Each structure stands twice: as structure tokens, then as C-alpha cells.
Amino acid sequence: MRRAIQKLKDSTSEIARLLSREHGKALYDSEGEIAVSIMWMEYACSVVKEVTEKQEIEHDNGRTIITFDPVGVVSAITPWNYPISLSTIKIAPALLTGNTMVLKPSPFAPLAVSRVVEIIASEFPPGVLNLVHGEADVGVELTSNPKVVKIAFTGGTKTAKSIMKAASDTIKKMTLELGGNDAAIVLPSFNVNDSRALRRMVISNFLTAGQICMIAKRVYVHRSIYDKFVEKYIEAANNWIRVGDPFNPNITVGPVNNRNQVKYVKSLVDDAESKGATIIKLGKILNPELMDNGYFLQPTLVLGADYHDPIVVEEQFGPTVPILPFDDEEQVIQLHNESIYGLTSSVWGEEEQAISVARRIEAGTTMINTAAIQGVDVRFPFGGVKQSGVGREYGKEGLKSYVEIHVINIPKNLELPYIPE
Ligand code: NAD
């Protein structure tokens, strides 16, 4: 695995260019995706021994041996938004703990990850890491075939429901990383003049044109600072957002990945507008000649939406975000927690107050004064509560989910006192 990591480092530039070409994300974003993947693979290498080392425990009733064995054949199914990192997040722990894997990437971004799989597979015996391409029907085979013991899936919540059904016949183990409708909560103590914090907020809404599971997809701001916040947010957004050709080094936001996603995001914004919301276009267009020719969408801010409009309660997964006012902590916690999702969330303001709100939030990760990728650390577990997922990736937990625990007990007292002769 370490040799494969070195090869990936050496090929970063080639793979990043391929990823930007097929996906549409800005080149710096593709390079960042590969860098995070490598960071995780290196961490996984550094802790695998600790996670899988056999334990032998001498105790008052004899001896117990605990082994951490491979589960067997793992199916990995991944989405299009972060095809490399969401594949390596599965490949590294599965292979390091001794399993074999068949990976099916999304047909919307299959090329760069194929190159990554080819590189990693070349350092393992034939058949250990395998790649198949295809649509949902291939996914169905991979999630129902009796030879598959575990499914590692990242994608939409609706797809995960079919997968759970397909997998139930043979009771497969699974890790599911699903959709989210992550909220950012801005407390009255947030300093609206902190331009770096506002920039982090904008990035947390619009990186990768908003196509990230853990992007902040709805922003609730305390009414006492709402007007000032919106004014400063628009300023920060206009500074950071520069839309254009992924290979233009001055852009920060590329096009959306596919036609369906463009249509869906537009429909949510149109619906909000038809109900009276104000739509504000954000940022600059650096390549105007491209805008009518493909899947470019200028990022938008939605003001005045209702708390339960689709733009607020659905996962938009694109370059638009609603900002809404709230009046008190109870109300915003309720608005946060009534979602069926619970992937990540963020609280912005004085640190201790933010932590106290964070403690009451239903989410797998809550970040303080930052959000999305900016606040994730590969050394700690990542995953969702409620319909955002099952299990965790990253951290030591991200390796433990690929092993079976086998306990061998050698008791000294062979007879139980309460069982009659
Ligand atoms: P998707 O669910 O449509 O597709 C994901 C993968 O599943 C693809 O490879 C697809 O071909 C395959 N698939 C489709 N139907 C299948 C079936 N019936 N059985 C087996 N496999 C099937 O998701 P998408 O549109 O590619 O990705 C966007 C979604 O992924 C969003 O909801 C996003 O939030 C989620 N996501 C979650 C995380 C996370 O870590 N929680 C990360 C990234 C994306």
C-alpha cells in the first residue's frame, strides 16, 4: 500500500487533470481530493497494526485470544462527486485488513478513479482489487451476490434503501455514507466583521459547486445579526466565487457534473422564487463564453424562503444556499433536528456557546466556526446519524468495520455453578 501511495503521489498531476476533465471540478479541487485521499491512506497504514493485532488476555478464569480477521469479499459502490477519495476511503482499510474488493464507480465520473484503482491494484496480487463499470444493474449484482460479505456504499439515501433490501437475503454487513442536509447555525455572538470566517462559510457552501455530502446546505442566522450577516456574506461570496473553466487557474467554482443535477438544482431555486423568495446571484463569471454551453450554474443565495420549502428541507447538492433567520436556540435546534438527515453540521460564534449548541445537535460530526471539508480530520470517524448513514469511515473505526472479531475462550472453570448435575 505504501508503494501504491508513492505512485499516486507521483501521478497526482496526471490524475487531477483527468478528474477535472471528466468531472468539471476546478483543478485545485481535484489536486485537493487526491491529497486528502493520500493523507487517509497513509493514516490507515499507520494504524492498521494496532487495529488488527491479535490480543491474548490472561485473566481470573483462564485465557482469551481475540483475533481481527478479514470479512471476505467487499463490494464498494461510489458516487460521482468525490470519486477518488470516496473510493480510497474504502480501498485502503479493506485491503490493509486482508479483504478483497470489487469496486463500482459512478458512470458520471469513472475515469480518474479507474487510473487510481489500476495503480493500487498493481501493487497487490491479481484479483485482490477489482473494478467493474456499469449502471444500477451492476450495483444490484454487487449488493445481492451471495459471495459478497460486506457492502461499502456512498451515495444517495434512496439508493441505500434498495441496497439494504437487496442485501437482506444474505444479511450482509454494511457501511452506508448517504445524503445530508447539513445546517450551519450562526449564533448572535458570531463576529460579522470576521472576513476569514465568512470566507470559510462561503467555501463551505460552494466548494465543488456545492456537490459535497457535507457542504452546509442551509444557513440559520440569529435575527439580531441577520441583516448585517447577509450583507457581509454577499461581500465575501462575491470575493471568493469565480466561475469558469476548471483549467483556468483563477476560478474557484467549475460547472455542475451532470444534466440531471443542473435540472434539479434549478427546479429548487425556481420553486423558491415562485413562492416569493429573493434570489441573489453570487460571484464573478470568468469564462462567460462557456456559460450557455454545458452545465454551468451561477451560484445563488436564496433569501426569504419558508422553513419548510424544498430548497431548505431537500438536499440541493449544487451551487445554491438558503439563509434564514431564527429567534432562539430552541427553535434552531428543532429546525436542525427535524430533518431526516444528520451527516455534518456547524455552529458559528463564541466557542463555548457553540459547543453547548453542538452537544444538542443530531449529526455525525459538528464543526465549530468552520464547516464541510475544512473541518474534517481523517484521523477521526466520519459518518451520519438517522438516514444519513450506518457506520463510520475514517479514523480507526474506518478500519474496524472491515474485520470480524473472533474470540477464542479457554476458561479455567469449565463448569457453571448454576447448572444442576
Ligand atoms: P447515487 O445513489 O445515485 O449513486 C451512487 C452509486 O450507486 C453509483 O455508482 C450508482 O451507479 C450506484 N447505484 C445506483 N442504483 C443502485 C442500486 N439500485 N444498487 C446498487 N448500486 C446502485 O448517488 P450519486 O447521485 O452518485 O451521489 C450523490 C449522493 O451521494 C448525494 O445524496 C450525496 O449526499 C451522497 N454522498 C454521500 C457522502 C457521504 O460520505 N455521506 C459522500 C458523497 C456523496
Residues annotated as part of the active site? 177, 213
DSSP string, 234-275: HHHHHHH-EES-TT-TT-SB---S-HHHHHHHHHHHHHHHHT
* Structural domain 2-178+384-408, CATH architecture: 3-Layer(aba) Sandwich (3.40)
Give the model's pLDDT for residue 59. 98
Query: Distance, CA 155 to ligand 1 centroid (Å)?
Result: 2
Those residues with Cβ within 8 angstroms of residue 353's Cβ, 6 or more apart along the chain or in another chain? 187, 189
Q: Which of 100, 84, 98 is nearest to 38 (CA)?
A: 84
Query: Distance, CA 159 to ligand 1 centroid (Å)?
Result: 6
Query: Distance, CA 201 to ligand 1 centroid (Å)?
Result: 26
The total number of residues shown for the chain amounts to: 421
Per-residue b or e along 262-297, where b marks 16 or more CB atoms closer than 10 Å to that residue's CB? bebbeebbeebbeeebebeebbbbebeebeeeebbb
DSSP string, 331-388: HHHHHHHTSS--SEEEEESSHHHHHHHHTT--SSEEEES--GGGG--TTS-B--SGGG
In three-state form (DSSP H/G/I as H, E/B as E, the rest C), the secondary structure along 270-327 is HHHHHCCCEEEECCEECCHHHCCCCCCCCCEEEECCCCCCHHHHCCCCCCEEEEEEEC
Q: Which atom in ligand 1 lies closest to the alpha carbon of residue 135?
A: 11
Give the model's pLDDT for residue 146. 98
CA-nearest residue, atom 43 of ligand 1: 213
Query: Distance, CA 138 to ligand 1 centroid (Å)?
Result: 13
Give pLDDT tens digits along the chain (421 positions).
999 999 999 999 999 999 999 999 999 999 999 999 999 999 999 999 999 999 999 999 999 999 999 999 999 999 999 999 999 999 999 999 999 999 999 999 999 999 999 999 999 999 999 999 999 999 999 999 999 999 999 999 999 999 999 999 999 999 999 999 999 999 999 999 999 999 999 999 999 999 999 999 999 999 999 999 999 999 999 999 999 999 999 999 999 999 999 999 999 999 999 999 999 999 999 999 999 888 999 999 999 999 999 999 999 999 999 999 999 999 999 999 999 999 999 999 999 999 999 999 999 999 999 999 999 999 999 999 999 999 999 999 999 999 999 999 999 999 999 999 9
Q: What gap in Å lies between CA 159 and CA 146, rounded to an integer?
A: 20
Question: 3-state class of 56 per DSSP?
Answer: strand
Residue of 111, 140, 154 to mutate, ligand 1, most atoms within 8 A of C-beta: 154
Query: What global pTM score does this model have?
Result: 0.97
CA-nearest residue, atom 9 of ligand 1: 106
Q: Which atom in ligand 1 lies closest to the alpha carbon of residue 105?
A: 9
Class of residue 126 by CB neighbours under 10 A (exposed 0-12, middle 13-18, buried 19+): exposed
Across 105-228, the runs of DSSP E, i.e. the strands, are 129-131, 148-154, 173-177, 183-186, 218-222
Q: What gap in Å lies between CA 362 and CA 107, rounded to an integer?
A: 33
DSSP 8-state symbol, 25: -
Those residues with Cβ within 8 angstroms of residue 305's Cβ, 6 or more apart along the chain or in another chain? 272, 275, 277, 311, 312, 322, 324
Q: What gap in Å lies between CA 95 and CA 87, rounded to an integer?
A: 12
Are residues 65 and 55 in contact, defined by beta-carbon separation less than 8 angstroms? yes
Q: Which atom in ligand 1 lies closest to the alpha carbon of residue 393?
A: 40
CA-nearest residue, atom 12 of ligand 1: 136
Cα–chain-centroid distance for residue 128? 25
Query: Distance, CA 259 to ligand 1 centroid (Å)?
Result: 16
Residue of 81, 151, 172, 317 to mutate, ligand 1, most atoms within 8 A of C-beta: 81
H-only helix segments in 60-110: 85-96
Residue of 132, 145, 151, 159 to mutate, ligand 1, most atoms within 8 A of C-beta: 159
Write down the domain spans for the chain: 2-178+384-408, 183-375
Strand partners, 345: 366
Question: 3-state class of 72 per DSSP?
Answer: coil
Those residues with Cβ within 8 angstroms of residue 227's Cβ, 6 or more apart along the chain or in another chain? none
- H-helix or E-strand spanning residue 76: strand 73-77
Topology of the domain covering 183-375 = Aldehyde Dehydrogenase; Chain A, domain 2 (3.40.309)
Q: Which atom in ligand 1 lies closest to the alpha carbon of residue 160?
A: 2
CA-nearest residue, atom 39 of ligand 1: 177
Q: What gap in Å lies between CA 90 and CA 97, rounded to an integer?
A: 11
Residue of 213, 258, 263 to mutate, ligand 1, most atoms within 8 A of C-beta: 213
Whether 183-375 and 2-178+384-408 are alike in CATH topology: the answer is: no
Are residues 185 and 356 in contact, defined by beta-carbon separation less than 8 angstroms? no
Those residues with Cβ within 8 angstroms of residue 207's Cβ, 6 or more apart along the chain or in another chain? 29, 215, 253, 372, 373
Phi, psi of 310 (to 5 degrees): -55, -35
CA-nearest residue, atom 14 of ligand 1: 136
Q: Which of 117, 81, 96, 80 is nearest to 40 (CA)?
A: 96
Q: Which residues line ligand 1 (CB under 6 A)?
A: 77-82, 86, 104, 106, 135-136, 139-140, 143, 154-156, 159, 162-163, 177-180, 213, 315, 317, 343, 384, 389
CB atoms within 10 A of CB 349: 20
